[in-house]
């Protein structure tokens, strides 16, 4: 038997022991399983950044001047109190205002995806970005919409280039912006040219950036802006030691329920088959039949996920395994933000029918659901039984992966 399989079997057997017995053995098995699955001390995921770049990047991240129509900042959607996401199923872009529910009630342009959080982004080996991996450096070559004309060889810096040129996200879908609607590399360049000229004329933003980049204000480019924001994300949301790290690396303690959840995670429930490595993501793409809400990236309630990038039919309905740090803070869950409860997000992996009401679905929605079940049936987690107390234990375990960001952010003009 492979070592990992053997550990899984031992973990399963131990999870059936009465709580008083085998406590120490359970702890040993959980520590070994975590190490085997690629957990490393938080500091070892860090990529060094320049402190001045971080300061300049934070100012830019907060500024609405980074959107063509001066309506929205990165910090409008990546909000502190929602764990660097926005607390909404689908994101609200231009023509929206406020935070959380207020943002949804007020209306505005809808981005048909759930806002992703930043924990660990841009750390060592974190090199695939967005739900469908549209920026991907995992093969050693960087792939993105820039199609060979990438503005940087750093995947996070390339990812940061995208929001400011996306229609509805930071560019208003208005007659005045008609010429930009193609979202091509050349229209992107037009937007970058306008933005950098604007920022150069704002000393409160360009001063710190010029100093950090070591060049005069007039020589600043949009890539300097992206570099600074990437440095800020890298530093502010870098993985910091969690209670689980403390348990694995410093003999820290977990409650009986957290321990049981951890053993399930690495054992019977098979979560670590995909949520593994330093970020609890295999940086690969899988199909889990989460309910889909909203218009969907492909329209009419459909999101083909990874297929949109690779055009490979086998990739339909697959999404990048989300990292799990601070997942307790980033509801609602999944690529379309369809589930508010963490327990339901866990259930979606094993018992999707519990979350659907087939009677209220149209025949087309049901056909779509069957197609997603078909892709899911290739995943080992398909049709596994998890009891309610097991789901609760997994939730308790996930709460041990919490940590705080370094600095806070606000939206500014």
**Span of 4-12, 137-145, 235-243, 328-336 interacting with ligand HEC by CB under 6 A:** 328-336
Task: By CB under 6 A, tell whether 76 contacts ligand HEC.
Answer: yes
What is the sign, positive or negative, of the torsion defined by CA atoms of 122, 313, 111, 363?
negative
Name the burial class of residue 224, with classes exposed (0-12), middle (13-18) and buried (19+) by CB atoms within 10 angstroms of its CB: buried
Task: By CB under 6 A, tell whether 273 contacts ligand HEC.
Answer: yes
Nearer to ligand HEC, 274 or 399 (CB): 274
Q: Which residue from 116, 191, 209, 309 is in contact with ligand HEC, where contact means CB under 6 A?
A: 116
User: Assign residue 98 a region: left if phi > 0, alpha if psi is -120 to 50, beta otherwise?
Assistant: left
Nearer to ligand HEC, 21 or 105 (CB): 105
Q: How far is the CB of 20 from ligand HEC (least distance, A)?
A: 26
Q: Which residue from 345, 393, 396, 399 is in contact with ligand HEC, where contact means CB under 6 A?
A: 345
> In the numeric block, which tokens belong to residue 319?
């999404």
Task: Say if CB 113 and CB 120 are below 8 A apart.
Answer: no
Q: What is the dihedral of CA 43, 45, 48, 54, to 10 degrees?
A: -90
Task: By CB under 6 A, tell whether 275 contacts ligand HEC.
Answer: yes
Return all residues near 269 (Cβ < 8 A) that are at least 6 apart. Answer: 350, 381, 384, 386, 390, 394
Q: How far is the CB of 297 from ligand HEC (least distance, A)?
A: 7
Q: How far is the CB of 250 from ligand HEC (least distance, A)?
A: 24
Site string for ligand HEC, 171-210 (x = CB under 6 A): ----------------------------------------
Q: Which residue from 11, 34, 394, 396 is in contact with ligand HEC, where contact means CB under 6 A?
A: 394
**Residue numbers of the site for ligand HEC (CB under 6 A)?**
66, 72, 74, 76-78, 91, 93, 111, 113, 115-116, 121, 129-131, 159-160, 163-164, 169-170, 229, 269-271, 273-275, 286, 288, 290, 319, 321-322, 327, 330, 333-335, 342, 345-346, 349, 379, 381, 394
């Amino acid at each position: 038997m492979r070592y990992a399989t053997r550990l899984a079997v031992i973990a399963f057997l131990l999870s059936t022991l009465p709580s008083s017995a085998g406590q120490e053995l359970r702890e040993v098995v959980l520590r070994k399983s975590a190490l085997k699955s690629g957990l490393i001390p938080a500091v070892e995921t860090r990529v060094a950044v320049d402190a001045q770049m971080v300061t300049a990047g934070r100012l830019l991240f907060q500024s609405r001047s980074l959107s063509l129509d001066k309506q929205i900042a990165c910090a409008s959607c990546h909000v502190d109190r929602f764990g660097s996401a926005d607390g909404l199923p689908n994101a609200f872009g231009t023509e929206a205002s406020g935070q959380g529910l207020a943002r949804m009630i007020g209306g505005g342009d809808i981005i048909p995806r759930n806002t992703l959080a930043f924990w660990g982004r841009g750390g060592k080996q974190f090199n695939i970005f967005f739900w469908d991996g549209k920026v991907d450096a995992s093969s050693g070559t960087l792939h993105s919409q820039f199609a060979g004309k990438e503005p940087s060889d750093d995947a996070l810096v390339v990812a940061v280039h995208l929001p400011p040129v996306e229609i509805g996200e930071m560019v208003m879908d208005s007659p005045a912006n008609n010429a930009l609607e193609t979202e091509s590399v050349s229209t992107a360049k037009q937007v970058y040219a306008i933005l950098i000229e604007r920022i150069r004329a704002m000393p409160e933003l360009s001063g710190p950036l010029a100093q950090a980049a070591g060049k005069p204000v007039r020589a600043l480019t949009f890539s300097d802006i992206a570099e600074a924001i990437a440095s800020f994300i890298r530093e502010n949301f870098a993985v910091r030691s969690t209670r689980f790290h403390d348990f694995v690396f410093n003999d820290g303690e977990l409650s009986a329920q957290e321990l049981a959840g951890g053993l399930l995670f690495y054992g019977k429930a098979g979560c670590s088959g995909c949520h593994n490595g330093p970020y609890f993501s295999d940086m690969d793409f899988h199909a889990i039949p989460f309910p889909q809400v909203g218009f969907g990236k492909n329209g009419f309630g459909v999101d083909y996920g990874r297929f949109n990038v690779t055009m490979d039919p086998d990739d339909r309905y697959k999404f990048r395994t989300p990292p799990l740090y601070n997942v307790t803070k980033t509801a609602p869950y999944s690529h379309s933000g369809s589930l508010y409860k963490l327990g339901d997000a866990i259930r979606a992996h094993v018992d999707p029918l519990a979350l659907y009401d087939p009677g209220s679905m149209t025949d087309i929605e049901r056909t779509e659901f069957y197609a997603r079940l078909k892709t899911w049936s290739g995943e080992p987690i398909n049709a596994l039984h998890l009891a309610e107390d097991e789901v609760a234990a997994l939730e308790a375990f996930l709460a041990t992966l919490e940590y705080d960001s370094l600095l806070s952010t606000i939206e500014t003009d």
